[in-house]
Structure 1
Amino acid sequence: MSVSLETIDLLRKRANVSYEEAKLALEKNNGDPVEALIFLEKENKTKSEKEEKKTSGTILNSITGTIKGLIEKGNNSRLVIGKQDNNIFNLSMTLTVIGSIAAPVIPLVGIPLAFLTNHKIRIEKKNGEDIKVNEVLDKVSSTVSSMVNQTDQEPHKESKE
């Protein structure tokens, strides 16, 4: 039995299936679009438009979902630089990363300067949960502080000529 392209196209749009699936369903049901649609539903081959859009953009959805997740994580975490109870810098990690990309010289100069002036650098989550990177930052801060204190306490030797 021959099935017209118009009938195939009609069924394809209604059931949101491929041309091949629409043609096979029509051929199995003597060209009757209603019976073919029922057949496709029974076979669970019909898809809603939302499902079709979801599957067609899975890679794009995956990438945008990952980016959204990273931005949300960044917004829930803050970079805090301070000395004792006095914070001089408190900014969301999202803005910190964007700023670092836009002006990379700021963190390249600012972070060593913060350590040299005995400031603490911490990353804080909104829920107060501690982050493992803070242990490393504390060790670096302690090491730099002890080196600075050691050089301050050493007597200056004058060279004899």
Structure 2
Amino acid sequence: MTIVEQVEKLCAMANISFEEAKAALDAANGDLLEAIIYLEKQGKIHAPTGSGYYSSEKIIDTSAVAYKENGREQHHNCHKGKTIITIIKDIGKFCLKMLRKGNINTFEVLKGEEIKASFPVTVLGLLLIFAFWVTIPLIIIGLFFGFRYRFNGPDFSNNTVNDAMNSAADAAENLKKSINI
């Protein structure tokens, strides 16, 4: 940026005259940021309120801050936005977490008090995703043949899901009885 462009930029930013801007830049050896600080100290301009800041093209890009930790230089990206790689990593971590939870919890099919089938919740999830047109009708038909379903595992200590499954089984049983009358 030429000196004239810097002076014009400082005039626009600080709302001062051309001569004041030129004098401030001369006092700061052509550094726009130092000129702004110089004008602030003189009381000709006021510092931005809140978390605002001044910037210029001559200022070093602060979006990537380097620091040393344990003798190695580390780079920290200050931008709030995420790169596609970090988004993919986050999705991968989420999927692994759901797989672990799905494999330690089970979906059980009961006839009376006897467990007829038990398999990980992950399998049920995959069946619902890839074969829902078969899985959902089988579950509903099973309700009318007296089967009940429940989730079991460390993540199902709260029985609200199982209570809902029991109420659906009770509703199917009541519907079956009302049709047989």
Confirm or deny a common fold (TM above 0.5): yes
Aligned equivalent of 1:86, options 97, 106, 114 = 114
The structure with more radius of gyration: 2
Letter in 2 for 1:68: L
Runs of 4+ with deviation above 4 angstroms = none
C-alpha deviation, 1:126, in angstroms = 4.4
Aligned equivalent of 2:88, options 43, 60, 65 = 60
In structure 1, C-alpha distance between the alignment counterparts of 2:134 and 2:120, rounded to whole Å: 16
Choose between structure 1 and 2 for higher RCO, CA contacts under 8 A separated by at least 6 residues.
1
Aligned equivalent of 1:77, options 90, 105, 115 = 105
Question: Structure 2 matches for 1:1-161, cutoff 5 A?
Answer: 41=68, 46-47=73-74, 57-126=85-154, 129-152=157-180, 154=181
TM-score (norm 2): 0.51
Aligned residues: 112
C-alpha deviation, 1:136, in angstroms = 0.9
In structure 2, C-alpha distance between the alignment counterparts of 1:103 and 1:71, rounded to whole Å: 19
TM-score (norm 1): 0.57
CA contact (8 A) 1:124 1:130 kept: no
In structure 1, C-alpha distance between the alignment counterparts of 2:98 and 2:155, rounded to whole Å: 17
Give the helix-richer structure, 1 or 2. 1
Structure 1 unaligned segments of length 5 or more: list them: 1-19, 22-39, 155-161
Q: Structure 1 stretch 109-118 or stretch 122-131: which is displaced more?
A: 122-131
Percent identity (aligned): 13
Structure 2 unaligned segments of length 5 or more: list them: 1-59, 62-66
